[in-house]
Amino acid sequence: MAQMEIEVILTRQLASYLATPIFVVDKDGRLIFYNEPAESILGRRFEETAEMSGAEVIAAFSPMDSRGKKIDDAKIPLRIALAERRPAFLCFWIRGLDGVKRQIDVTAFPLIGQANALLGAVALFWEVQE
């Protein structure tokens, strides 16, 4: 098992201390961590879901628009952050792993480390309360 880059390790450590829901993926889009505040929105503890590929994440959370139509993968903020190395924002709906549909605001940004290396991306998200 390869050790994560220090920038990713520190990101996880920071996320684990914050009350802001945070979701961390590696450079391949693989989910590698989400923190406790994110668990209540995603509907399951991280320890129970463990790591997932990008495709598995999308299949698990079913991102959709207000009419329930699947969102194009290329419009998902984390995908944009990884593919275009820039921050991105979107408001959309997911179905949590507890089966509950929730509206969330998501801002994602790329993790660009030393030597300009793309190491992953971070999504900050918030449940929209109607």
Partner 1 sequence: MKVTLWGTRGSIAAPGPETAYYGGNTPCVAVEGNQGTTLVLDAGTGIRRLGGALPCTLKRVDLLLTHLHMDHLQGLGFFAPLYNPALEVHIWGPPSAQYDLRTRLIRYLSPPLFPVLLRDLPCKLSLHEVADGDFTIGEFCVQSELICHPGPTVGYRIVSENAVLTYLPDHEPALGVPDFPAPPKWTSGYSLAHKADLLIHDAQYSNAEYATRIGWGHSSMEHALRFAIHAKVRSFVAFHHDPAHSDKDVKKLLKDGVAAVKPSFPVVGGAENKCFTLGNNSINLLEQEENG
Residue ranges binding partner 1 (CB under 8 A): 1-7, 9-10, 12-14, 16-17, 113-115, 117
By beta-carbon proximity to partner 1, the closer residue of 20 and 128 is: 20
Is the separation of the CB atoms in 71 and 92 below 8 Å?
A: yes
Q: Which two tokens stand for residue 92?
A: 């959309």
Residue 62 C-beta: closest distance to partner 1, Å: 29
By beta-carbon proximity to partner 1, the closer residue of 17 and 66 is: 17
Residue 17 C-beta: closest distance to partner 1, Å: 7
Residue 101 C-beta: closest distance to partner 1, Å: 32
The DSSP code sequence of 88-113 is EEEEEEEE-TTS-EEEEEEEEEEEE-
